[in-house]
Amino acid sequence: MLTIDRTTYDAIVAHAKRDHPDEACGIVAGPEGSDRPERLVEMVNAAGSPTFYEFDSTDLLQLYKDMDARDEEPVVVYHSHTATEAYPSRTDIGLAMEPNAHYVLVSTREHGNNDGPVEFRSYRIIDGAVTEEEVTVVAQLQSRESEESTP
């Protein structure tokens, strides 16, 4: 299951709507091993395409260096589909290289740049196998302290 806070969820949806009809992409980083999506990083789609996304190679290196310095990993890797459903394509499955990440897909096919609901779905993609998982949106992620101080 993916647990994500409302602010981050809304920001991902807003990014997807803003970049429509091109695919939007980014990550939500969090402390290594925590499974907490805490820090949204919107990325530029270097492909600038309605059917493909790719992080720019220089941006990619900077992103991973930043995460490394903070002991973070990509907890969520997200992108949008702009004409099709929010389900991983063959390309998505073949290129999924983060076994620990939740792969989030947002589809803007219904309302494009405009207000209105979107499909927001999450998957694990490991060795070519796709498993959909529940998405729980919370007001705020539970504080790390309260989790750690369980008696």
Partner 1 sequence: MAIEVRIPTILRTYTDGAKAVDGSGETLQALIDDLEGNHPGIKDRLIESGDLRRFVNVYINDEDVRFMGGLDAELSDGDQVVVLPAVAGGAGSSAQPVGR
Residues that bind partner 1 (CB under 8 A): 23, 25, 27, 43, 47, 49-55, 57-58, 60-61, 64, 73-74, 77, 79, 81-84, 88-92, 95-100
> What are the backbone angles phi and psi of residue 64, rounded to the nearest 5°?
-70, -30
Nearest to 78 by CA among 6, 1, 7, 11: 11
Nearer of residues 13 and 25 to partner 1, judged by Cβ: 25
Cα(63)–Cα(129) distance, rounded to whole angstroms?
26
CB of 62 to partner 1, least distance (A): 9
As a dihedral over the C-alpha atoms of residue 105, residue 96, residue 125, residue 109, rounded to 10 degrees, the angle is: 20
Nearer of residues 52 and 132 to partner 1, judged by Cβ: 52
Nearer of residues 85 and 147 to partner 1, judged by Cβ: 85
CB of 145 to partner 1, least distance (A): 27
